Structure 1
Amino acid sequence: MEIRIGSLTHPAVIALLEQHHQDMLLHSPEESVHALDLSALAQENISFWCVWKDDALAGCGALKELDNAHGEIKSMRTSPDFLRQGVAKLLVEYIISQATNRGYQKLSLETGTMAAFLPAQKLYQQLGFHFCQPFGNYQEDPFSTFMSKSIC
């Protein structure tokens, strides 16, 4: 598998991001869905990567700079054909390394609270993330849980 800078115009990437957003809406009300759309992922403070296996899109994820010491993981999604094959772990480890290289001291994320999000929460915990209070512009929400990791 190879991690590359994500192309926000590639049809497979667009389809995966649309699937991600629709799936979030199945588990959370619209006001509690914090998935980024294509225009948000194109902002200067966001880096977006995709994992490819040959010509097949295996997953995607992004790193948003909140400030010069704090980053946020966004838009994590594994393609259905690649579930439970280590794609998410590979990508989160890559994002942690990118955040470390940028000198961030903390990396945070928001994810859902429903049962569908438990595998993601477990992965983040295995990689050293701990549950925390809302950060940035987030507010307490019964459909959101927040996690962070120190990465000095």
Structure 2
Amino acid sequence: MTDNPIGAVGRLRVVADDLSGAAIAALLAAHHAEMADTSPAESMHALDLTALRDPAVTVWSAWTGDDLLGCGALKELDAEHAEIKSMRTADGHTGRGVAAAVLAHLVAVGRERGYRRLSLETGAEDFFAPARRLYLRHGFTECGPFGDYSADPLSRFFTLRLVPG
């Protein structure tokens, strides 16, 4: 890893979240609404709270004290491949390393679970440029559509090969 993202945000705690709290529900609702406002329906792949409760999905939330700073999720596609979903930094906390810390946590969990690859879809528009830079900085490379995705000019796909650790 190229930096120490956890140090950038102080004492960040990343925990598995059961999605029952008001703070995580509000953050994910805001994420879903922003994605719906940013992308046409056929190109919007953000999961709502109901879809995030699927047993194939695990959501983690990132906290400092009682403050929710962000979240991210892994959706198992098969025994060797998972998709990163719902990466979100809370308003007022962008640019502080929260997303990098959550991403590092997701990659570590992916290795622990024995996945050989993590993949993700994000938007192609300028709005998503910071997310694309984050993934590239952390070793992800562009790839074609995976899973149930199909080619879409408004989507970009990335993958990271995992070395068992």
- TM-score normalised by structure 1 residue count: 0.97
SS of the residue corresponding to residue 77 of structure 2 reads strand
- Name the stretch that deviates more: 16-25 or 120-129: 16-25
- Partner Cα separation in structure 2 for residue 7 and residue 80 of structure 1: 22
Give the conservation status (yes or no) of the 8 Å contact 1:108–1:147.
Answer: yes
Q: Which residue of 2 aligns with 1:30?
A: 41
SS of the residue corresponding to residue 81 of structure 1 reads coil
Q: Which residue of 2 aligns with 1:125?
A: 136
- The letter of the residue matching 1:79 is A
- Partner Cα separation in structure 1 for residue 18 and residue 24 of structure 2: 7
Alignment of 1:112 with 2:123, yes or no, is yes
Alignment of 1:145 with 2:131, yes or no, is no
Q: How does 1:1-150 map to 2 (within 5 A)?
A: 1-150=12-161
- Partner Cα separation in structure 1 for residue 73 and residue 95 of structure 2: 20
SS of the residue corresponding to residue 80 of structure 1 reads coil
Give the conservation status (yes or no) of the 8 Å contact 1:47–1:63.
Answer: yes
- Partner Cα separation in structure 2 for residue 46 and residue 26 of structure 1: 24
Q: Which residue of 1 aligns with 2:3?
A: none
- The letter of the residue matching 1:49 is W
Gaps of 5+ in 2: 1-11
SS of the residue corresponding to residue 92 of structure 2 reads helix
- TM-score normalised by structure 2 residue count: 0.90
- The letter of the residue matching 2:68 is L
SS of the residue corresponding to residue 116 of structure 1 reads helix
Shift of residue 55 of structure 1? 0.6
Gaps of 5+ in 1: none
Shift of residue 125 of structure 1? 0.3
Give the conservation status (yes or no) of the 8 Å contact 1:7–1:13.
Answer: no
- Identical aligned residues as a percent: 45
- The letter of the residue matching 1:30 is A
* RMSD (CA atoms): 0.8
Give the conservation status (yes or no) of the 8 Å contact 2:29–2:49.
Answer: no
- The letter of the residue matching 1:65 is E
Q: Which residue of 1 aligns with 2:6?
A: none
- The letter of the residue matching 2:44 is V
